[in-house]
């Protein structure tokens, strides 16, 4: 049975995630209403601007229904701002910003710097690039966060390999929740999306 995976469609790279999910074997549904959230087996929270996204969750009456679905075990994947939204502790954010407390991590917003500091690098990603004959993953970072600390139940899947940010955590998973600092939806490499589709299927 094909999984139905929502993409939170309030702001950010919605179209790119929808296309990547379709290419990965899922049915993708943009989510703007609680009734749409009820229909999905998992949810992608895209990149964008995390404080704006948190405000829009309130405007669209989605914050409480989303928190409830996450607490009930709905699989979720957040990229860039989505990682910030899923985190439990957020550094360098506004006092009125809300997060979803679905990952036991501390996230620093805009950790790599401003837009001009955006960059690309090749990553090793546990569960993807360690498979036989797998190539490194090209990762695109755009005003990206990084993970400062992880809880005991959080698995680190990828870190920056070199440069000033070497060793910084940029991909994590805790049970049914996955997050990356980078934007796999923009590279044409759908392995992270296939990984998440498999997570949803297993759940």
pLDDT at 113: 65
State the pTM of this model. 0.95
For residue 185, what is the DSSP state?
G
171 C-beta neighbours (distance < 10 Å), count: 28
Catalytic positions are 80, 183, 185
Each domain of the chain, given as residue ranges in start order, spans 4-202
CA distance 58 to 88: 18
Radius of gyration of the chain (CA): 15
pLDDT along the chain (203 residues), means of 10: 94 92 96 96 92 89 96 97 94 82 93 68 96 94 92 97 89 98 94 98 92
pLDDT at 92: 81
Q: Which residue has the tokens 């695109």?
A: 140
pLDDT at 93: 77
CATH of 4-202, one of 3.40.50.720, 1.10.1040.10, 3.40.50.880, 3.40.5.10: 3.40.50.880
pLDDT at 162: 87
């Amino acid at each position: 049975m094909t999984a139905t995976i929502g993409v939170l469609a309030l702001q950010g790279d919605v179209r790119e995630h929808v296309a990547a999910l379709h290419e990965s074997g899922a049915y993708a549904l943009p989510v703007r209403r609680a009734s749409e959230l009820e229909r999905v087996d998992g949810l992608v929270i895209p990149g964008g601007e995390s404080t704006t996204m948190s405000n829009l969750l309130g405007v669209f009456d989605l914050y409480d229904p989303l928190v409830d679905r996450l607490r009930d075990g709905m699989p979720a994947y957040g990229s860039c701002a989505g990682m910030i939204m899923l985190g439990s502790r957020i550094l360098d954010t506004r006092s009125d910003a809300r997060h979803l407390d679905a990952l036991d991590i501390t996230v620093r917003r805009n950790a790599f710097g401003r837009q001009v500091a955006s960059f690309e690098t090749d990553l090793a990603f546990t569960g993807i690039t360690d498979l036989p004959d797998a190539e490194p993953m090209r990762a695109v970072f755009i005003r990206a966060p990084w993970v400062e600390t992880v809880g005991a139940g959080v698995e680190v899947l990828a870190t920056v390999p070199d440069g000033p940010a070497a060793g910084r955590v940029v991909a994590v998973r805790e049970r049914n929740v996955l997050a990356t600092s980078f934007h796999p939806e923009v590279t044409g490499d759908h392995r992270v999306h296939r990984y998440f589709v498999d997570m949803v299927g297993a759940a």
